[in-house]
Chains A and B, each alone.
Chain A
């Protein structure tokens, strides 16, 4: 998907026009890729021309899967889909057509047999990605080890980069983490890097691997090669693939593919499957036109947002009364036919209520928030848009009224009725008025500035029960001199006993709280590494086969990590690698106590989305 319809036309045809020139400059690379594609299409028929150069590199690869695709067909093995081979051929043809002239593009463009909203999406991004300088890109090319680049605090820019790359280019191959969505006939739907149309051949290869194993009565989950993992997820007619050389465990990568699929369902609903039932070669790309930014921002969140693997949401720290006030006004509108009313600030929940018996899954909240935050159009005006909550009901659209109350705070009102716009607009105005009057919005902004829990503030002595995180709210504890001086002593080295960071997840509430990053986690790179370490710990603790472990202590060159899983909560804590075990354990107990002491402010209580 390119970022806009217009851009799609332009870049694609110019790409096609300049194709041969580019190819000429990289005969070996292209020869190789072409070899594979041709093989796939023709069942290993001899290939001449620039294939010669490739033979050296690709060595015996020519028969490989290609020959086997033919074999599968000859054997008449039962195949879930019809005519796999002819589809591959078609893709091969499409690629050939693209190579020779731009007519192929016209066909690929097709007519977006979609409802009007797809076009609306198209306008949402504005091609911010193309030609963007890299800035802080979270998954740089493997060999780029320059700390200067990755440590820079520059904001991450949404949108697709490196559109001009394809599988023939070395830099494309060296990307640390690829994500692909393709259809069961091998048609590309989304690729994180590179132009989907140019990746048709590559996409067909992925399809061939999946269906080859599938035809044998099995399902491929993972391929490991050196540092690389190739993770596959099949969702009906939709195939999702991640190719990664990050250290993330299989379970995490698979969870990320699930979320990407969920994001797609959120935009289209699962009824898109019917299109494939009618026409296996159905081209989905027009339906998703312009949603690049949604996917790329979701993928970006895989490297900083713990909600993506904890399956829990986090709240903005707020005084209990303030959150109560927000909840009350949301509850009012929920009683008037709104299914869910959610007030969020960035990815943090201020308050949320649901109609009776309706429950909202944390993953749905993540995907919805990501969709809203990544689409520019939501920021500029009030919006009424069909969305689907995959965990709530993957088959049906809901309608979301979205309005930003300030730069970061937005209100989402979800309903089942497609003509509720004016009603919801009224609701919003009522809510906005109340929030302004009761100072909720200014408290929200203040909280964003103040941040949440900091390891340096971990109380040494047990707090009185009325402990508060938010001294400014007037309920603060008296700060003793000794506490103050300790705080200074910890400056730059985290909290007591070498505590650097923690995440606490309440199981009943489906919520988590993570401490703010303090030194030594100064850079995004360090933060991401810690995030990945937590992710690994989470996967290690939650093994599906043998059940969750209870405790884990893990020490490597970067950290001491402690994890504690009980029926009520999970605690993940990171310490200095030289931390003493005994005092680390004590500190973890104190963190748990601290969280309990301030739970009124950091969690949304009494409103667990699952508990109605």
Chain B
């Protein structure tokens, strides 16, 4: 029984990926499993976790053919489901524990599953297509294992000043987004507010750099610190690349990598610091499965590309970021330019990133348009340096001047999260400010968000053609006002701890905020 072993595993988190089209015959059920964390759980336990998941997917389809099981809430655990690709399911099981602050918002957890899958797509393509290429699934499993473990691992402890806490394996234990993260929204992009003049310069910089590639279908993404300045990608691709950049490419991500330990270098010493089943050494990473799996474990496994690996990016002398993650051949020492898949066009793109101080410029060039591989890329880089490095300097200077620092988007008296669902944008109070809220307020907010999540998903299924319009102002037991407003694809969540007693005061505060910072989106006419 999977659940009993969850209980014995004090960290209480399991994550699995399985394919319902595989292992249909009795005795071959193991074949369904594509990923399981922790990997050292007995197969029988893994199988029973997947058995329950599969059973409930089948059961719920009796009544709800259009949407199968999304969550199982048990007394002590939540099982959150996500159908990543047709018949390929991801399930995360978390233990609930009030004392340990293990209080979860289901949609928050599901977003984690979505995110890791989207990133996987970006680097490897769809799981289904990989399975079709390799029915034995040996290297798919290795890829998934390495990728997800890299995703889950952390290189530093959470700091309240961090803009985005994307990593979960914070030194001792997995820290999935809990009620404390209720004023954050995964799978959205945080933008820098840019003045008119700066915007024009940014535009011209983008034009110049993209023209250096000589290809019509190249794209770019410009970040200042961990904030997006400009993008020419589709919304989905923007989110994915932005997420990756903030994880591994921005100056903050690079410096964090330098100062911290690397489990690869420290080997077993590091792995003991991580409780429970961990990645340990690179060798065990690449061999998560026993031979009995029937996979013809080839050499290539240990050389699966690890785009999320830590400390593998650094800034080169010419300002371009370099990495040895991508290699020309297995085991060779020759690194090649990284490449990713665009979701929108399913096109493969080279990824070049240039960094100047706080500015990170990511350039995507279609692989098909570069004729002589690495040399072609080198030529493009040269062109960029020649034509755009000065412009980069100027843009960086301009943005730095206008930048209000870490607390730039703090609004005194408010703790807020603003989500623009249509444009996948979000803006929130800085984490350091959110951390001043009491636990009671955050719990009430998490609960309210859960309620709104259900209303939203309900509206989606009812599909009445109009979007959910909802306003909830609650005065919690601790007298804080916890507020949610959903209107025309925009969402506002707010906690007012210093508010006066009345509801009118609280609504007035929302109105002022809406008029001043949201162009009146949440104002009543």
Interface residues of A (CB under 8 A from B): 36, 44, 46, 58-68, 71-72, 75, 77, 167, 173, 205, 208-209, 212-213, 215-228, 230, 243, 245, 247, 249-250, 540-541, 543, 545-557, 581-582, 585
Instruction: Compute how far the CA of A221 lies from the CA of B73 in the bound complex, rounded to whole angstroms.
Output: 6
> Which of B1, B61, B444, B471 gathers most chain A CB within 10 Å?
B1
B469 to A557, Cβ gap below 8 A? yes
Instruction: Compute how far the CA of A205 lies from the CA of B55 in the bound complex, rounded to whole angstroms.
Output: 9
Asked whether B52 is an interface residue with its Cβ less than 8 Å from the other chain, the reply is yes
Interface bin, chain B: 35 or more
Residues of B within 8 A of A58 (CB): 58
Partner of A550, one of B54, B55, B72, B476: B476
Residues of A within 8 A of B47 (CB): 68, 71
Partner of A212, one of B55, B447, B473: B55
Q: In chain B, what residue has the closest Cβ to A71?
A: B48
Interface residues of B in 13-55 (CB under 8 A from A): 20-21, 23-24, 26, 29, 32, 44, 47-48, 51-52, 54-55
Residues of B within 8 A of A77 (CB): 1, 4
Residues of A within 8 A of B475 (CB): 549-552
Instruction: Compute how far the CA of A75 lies from the CA of B42 in the bound complex, rounded to whole angstroms.
Output: 12
B64 to A228, Cβ gap below 8 A? yes
Instruction: Compute how far the CA of A222 lies from the CA of B21 in the bound complex, rounded to whole angstroms.
Output: 27
User: Which of B74-82, B199-207, B227-235, B250-258 makes up part of the contact surface?
Assistant: B74-82
Residues of A within 8 A of B20 (CB): 59-60
Partner of A549, one of B4, B87, B477: B477
Partner of B74, one of A218, A545, A549, A552: A218
Q: In chain A, what residue has the closest Cβ to B442?
A: A546
B74 to A68, Cβ gap below 8 A? no
Residues of B within 8 A of A224 (CB): 69-71, 73
Instruction: Compute how far the CA of A554 lies from the CA of B457 in the bound complex, rounded to whole angstroms.
Output: 18
Evaluate whether A223 and B63 lie within 8 angstroms (CB atoms) in the complex, with A549-B475, A555-B471 already known: no
Q: Can you list 13 residue pairs at the A/B interface with Cβ under 8 Å?
A: A36-B58, A61-B55, A63-B29, A68-B55, A212-B48, A213-B52, A219-B75, A221-B74, A225-B69, A540-B472, A552-B472, A555-B471, A585-B503
Instruction: Compute how far the CA of A201 lies from the CA of B78 in the bound complex, rounded to whole angstroms.
Output: 27
Closest chain-B Cβ to A28's Cβ sits at a distance in Å of: 13
A60 to B24, Cβ gap below 8 A? yes
A546 to B444, Cβ gap below 8 A? yes
Evaluate whether A72 and B503 lie within 8 angstroms (CB atoms) in the complex, with A226-B461, A228-B63 already known: no
A216 to B3, Cβ gap below 8 A? yes
B62 to A173, Cβ gap below 8 A? yes
Partner of A225, one of B44, B70, B472: B70
Interface residues of B in 52-104 (CB under 8 A from A): 52, 54-64, 66-77, 87, 98, 103
Residues of B within 8 A of A68 (CB): 47-48, 51-52, 55
B63 to A71, Cβ gap below 8 A? no
Partner of A60, one of B21, B67, B77, B444: B21
Instruction: Compute how far the CA of A250 lies from the CA of B450 in the bound complex, rounded to whole angstroms.
Output: 12
Instruction: Compute how far the CA of A215 lies from the CA of B74 in the bound complex, rounded to whole angstroms.
Output: 12
Evaluate whether A66 and B69 lie within 8 angstroms (CB atoms) in the complex, with A227-B458, A585-B503 already known: no
Evaluate whether A209 and B2 lie within 8 angstroms (CB atoms) in the complex, with A60-B87, A67-B51, A225-B68 already known: no
Evaluate whether A243 and B55 lie within 8 angstroms (CB atoms) in the complex, with A67-B26, A218-B3, A552-B475 already known: no
Instruction: Compute how far the CA of A490 lies from the CA of B471 in the bound complex, rounded to whole angstroms.
Output: 26
Residues of A within 8 A of B72 (CB): 213, 220, 222-223
Residues of B within 8 A of A173 (CB): 62-63
Residues of B within 8 A of A250 (CB): 73
Closest chain-A Cβ to B26's Cβ sits at a distance in Å of: 6
Residues of A within 8 A of B69 (CB): 223-225
Query: A-B pairs with the 10 shortest C-beta distances?
Result: A216-B3, A226-B67, A65-B55, A61-B58, A64-B55, A68-B51, A225-B60, A60-B20, A551-B475, A216-B1
Asked whether B333 is an interface residue with its Cβ less than 8 Å from the other chain, the reply is no
Instruction: Compute how far the CA of A485 lies from the CA of B502 in the bound complex, rounded to whole angstroms.
Output: 33
Interface residues of B in 494-512 (CB under 8 A from A): 502-504, 507
Instruction: Compute how far the CA of A58 lies from the CA of B55 in the bound complex, rounded to whole angstroms.
Output: 11
Interface residues of B in 162-185 (CB under 8 A from A): none
Closest chain-B Cβ to A326's Cβ sits at a distance in Å of: 40
Residues of A within 8 A of B76 (CB): 217-219
> Which of A65, A71, A216, A581 gathers most chain B CB within 10 Å?
A216
Partner of A556, one of B1, B23, B62, B469: B469
Partner of B54, one of A60, A222, A225: A60
Instruction: Compute how far the CA of A250 lies from the CA of B48 in the bound complex, rounded to whole angstroms.
Output: 26
Closest chain-B Cβ to A258's Cβ sits at a distance in Å of: 16
Residues of B within 8 A of A212 (CB): 1, 48, 51-52, 55
B63 to A67, Cβ gap below 8 A? no
A546 to B24, Cβ gap below 8 A? no
Residues of B within 8 A of A167 (CB): 62
Residues of A within 8 A of B67 (CB): 225-228
Asked whether B328 is an interface residue with its Cβ less than 8 Å from the other chain, the reply is no
Partner of B474, one of A226, A552, A557: A552
Other A-B pairs beyond A213-B52, A555-B471, 15, CB < 8 Å: A59-B21, A60-B54, A71-B44, A75-B44, A212-B51, A212-B52, A212-B55, A215-B4, A220-B73, A222-B71, A223-B72, A225-B63, A545-B443, A548-B477, A553-B473
Residues of A within 8 A of B443 (CB): 545-546
Instruction: Compute how far the CA of A167 lies from the CA of B447 in the bound complex, rounded to whole angstroms.
Output: 35
Asked whether B440 is an interface residue with its Cβ less than 8 Å from the other chain, the reply is yes
B451 to A540, Cβ gap below 8 A? yes
